[in-house]
Amino acid sequence: MAAEPEGQAEHRHRPPDASCSTKAGGKSTRVRGCKVLTAGGFTGGPSERRTGTYSVAGDVLTIKWKIAQTWTEQWYVRKSPDGKLARLDLKRSTLATHGYGYGSNASYATRRAMSSVKAFPSSLRQDLTSWAGGKLVRSANQPFGLSSFRQCSGTTSCLTYLQPSSNSACQKEGGCPRYGGGTKANISSIQYYLTMISKTDRRDTLWHWCTCLAMERGQFCYTGNSHVKPLMQIIDDSGAFRGWVGAEASFSTDGSRAKDMLAVLRISDFR
pLDDT digit string, tens, across residues 100-127: 999 999 999 999 999 999 999 999 999 9
Give the pLDDT of residue 13: 66
* 199: exposed, middle or buried (Cβ count in 10 Å: 0-12, 13-18, 19+): exposed
Give the pLDDT of residue 249: 84
H helices within 196-267, ranges in order? Answer: 211-216
Give the pLDDT of residue 253: 60
Task: Give the span between the Cα atoms of 5 and 259, in whole angstroms.
Answer: 7
Query: Which positions ≥6 away from 31 have C-beta within 8 Å?
Result: 16, 20, 21, 22, 160, 161, 162, 191, 192, 193
The pair phi, psi for residue 211, each rounded to 5°, is: -55, -40
pLDDT-derived band at 6, boundaries 50, 70, 90? very low
The share of the chain scoring above pLDDT 90, in percent, equals: 78
Between strands 203-210 and 190-196, the pairing is antiparallel
Give the pLDDT of residue 225: 82
Numbers of helices and strands, H then E, in the chain? 2, 18
Give the pLDDT of residue 3: 35
**94 φ/ψ sector (left φ>0, alpha ψ -120 to 50, else beta):** alpha
The pTM for the full model equals: 0.92
CB 52 within 8 A of CB 69: no
Q: What is the average per-residue pLDDT within 2-21?
A: 65
Question: What's the DSSP call for residue 24?
Answer: -
| 3 state DSSP class of 138 | strand
Strands (DSSP E) found in 104-250: 124-132, 135-144, 150-151, 158-163, 190-196, 203-210, 227-235, 241-250
Q: Residue 247: is its pLDDT beyond 90?
A: yes
Task: Give the span between the Cα atoms of 197 and 148, in whole angstroms.
Answer: 21
Q: What is the mean pLDDT of the chain?
A: 91
Give the pLDDT of residue 252: 72
Task: Give the span between the Cα atoms of 209 and 227, in whole angstroms.
Answer: 6
Question: What's the DSSP call for residue 14?
Answer: P
Among 4-18, 45-59, 66-80, 244-258, whose mean pLDDT is lowest?
4-18
Question: In this structure, which amino acid lies at residue 198?
Answer: S
CB 170 within 8 A of CB 188: yes
Q: What is the average per-residue pLDDT within 3-29?
A: 72
Task: Give the span between the Cα atoms of 143 and 158, in whole angstroms.
Answer: 20
Give the pLDDT of residue 161: 98
pLDDT-derived band at 11, boundaries 50, 70, 90? low
The share of the chain scoring above pLDDT 70, in percent, equals: 94
